[in-house]
Chain A
Amino acid sequence: LAKTTQPISMDSYEGQEVNITCSHNNIATNDYITWYQQFPSQGPRFIIQGYKTKVTNEVASLFIPADRKSSTLSLPRVSLSDTAVYYCLVGDMDSNYQLIWGAGTKLIIKP
């Protein structure tokens, strides 16, 4: 099982770039890496997904090194509304098999 490890919490300030790293040392060949954002009493919201190298969309970037044993979610110029819990999910998207959720990182953005 591709167990994931994330920092429990992080603090940052408005306008800063925030990087959250997830470790997944025994990631399998068919596993993808997906990041979600969750606000209290809401379902998680999809942020970004990748398999290797770098992926960028309108809200974030995802950096995955060649060995794929970790991944880093990068949020550019955060605002107060980015305060949330961020989850790293590793699993085989083709079979939906053994999707393992990390414990989540509580990100607090300060003014």
Chain B
Amino acid sequence: GAVVSQHPSWVICKSGTSVKIECRSLDFQATTMFWYRQFPKQSLMLMATSNEGSKATYEQGVEKDKFLINHASLTLSTLTVTSAHPEDSSFYICSASWGNQPQHFGDGTRLSIL
């Protein structure tokens, strides 16, 4: 149980385009979803936390107009990287939880901006 699906698993696109990443909780209703960014050989950096039906709470230093998060339902959250540039290239990971349960993670999205 507690399966989280993240799509796509990897994406390559040109600089200036926008990229949308989906995160779905397949067998539970996620009251809270998290978006992380991870650079090689580093720990996870929390970008934002979103609760279903409300605006996401962004961590300090994360541009909310750059990284648009939508959590429209209890099973789906999306992260859109707008006008992506090479410095946005990274490994993006989502997680989901409900109540006081631990976070369950998707398998991540490798984003490469050319």
Contact = CB atoms under 8 A, between A and B. Distances in A.
B70 interface: no
Interface in A38-52: 41-46, 49
Interface in B37-87: 42-44, 46, 49
Given A96-B97, A101-B43, A101-B44, A43 B49 contact: no
A103 interface: yes
A46 B101 CA distance: 11
Interface residues of B, number: 26
Nearest to A46: B102
Interface residues on A, range: 10 to 19
Interface centre among A96, A102, A103, by most chain B C-beta atoms within 10 angstroms, is A96
A34 B108 CA distance: 20
A10 interface: no
